[in-house]
Amino acid sequence: MERMEIDENYIVRCLSGYETLLEDVRDRIRFLHSNMATTNDVLESLQMKKNYGTAGTSGGGRKKDLGDLLERYEENEERYAEFLKMYIYQLMQEEEALKRVWICYQGLPYRQRAVLKALYVEHKPWKVVRAELRMSHSTLSNNRFSAIQNIRQLYDSDFTDMQIMMYRQPELECRMDEGKQQQISIWDLGVKKP
């Protein structure tokens, strides 16, 4: 399936309301399924209510009966089915994009993930996040910017969702490298930087 194009605003929106957005997409899918059932019920009721007394001609000389009505209904049904296919495809793309952005967010190095979590997932004010994470304004801004860019790079990468999840490293999974702590992450695997 082709991936949706995303930008910074989409990422922020996704992080700010992931569960709500995902539930909205699923509600729309459920609506389509119930709507499809309703149109099938209408067709069945039209077939059952065949009234032979209404046969005749319309003003344009066209025969007006249940057969004509069913024919027009079937034409509309075909157009509607095409619309539903396109809409369902868009919804599937949207659901996959939401999930992939969330997975990419989970795959970020701890510091970047902590910044985005505080700002967008927990909706904390900038000043509070600066104080909690003990970062200067520019450091916080740089971490936020890098995290958003890294999500975009991971999203556009050839890594599967499973590969991104496998290499997700919680804050405690660190290694000692030449006397300083360094996180093992998917970035060590060679995500292409622009």
* Structural domains of the chain, count: 1
49-101 per-position pLDDT tens digit: 554 445 555 555 555 677 777 888 888 888 887 888 889 889 999 999 999 99
Domain annotation covers residue 191: no
Domain annotation covers residue 55: yes
111-158 per-position pLDDT tens digit: 999 999 999 999 999 999 999 999 999 999 999 999 999 999 999 999
Domain annotation covers residue 91: yes
In the chain, the amino acid numbered 63 is K
Question: CB-hemisphere CA count at 13 Å for 106?
Answer: 15
Domain hosting residue 162, numbered range: 8-171
Domain annotation covers residue 165: yes
Tokens of 166: 């496998």
pTM (global) more than 0.75? no
Domain annotation covers residue 189: no
What is the reported pLDDT for 68?
A: 79
Question: CA 177 to CA 104: how far, in whole Å?
Answer: 25
Domain annotation covers residue 86: yes
Domain annotation covers residue 182: no
Domain annotation covers residue 194: no
The CATH number that applies at residue 134 is: 1.20.140
- Spatial CB neighbours of 40, under 8 Å, sequence gap ≥ 6: none
Question: CA 79 to CA 124: how far, in whole Å?
Answer: 47
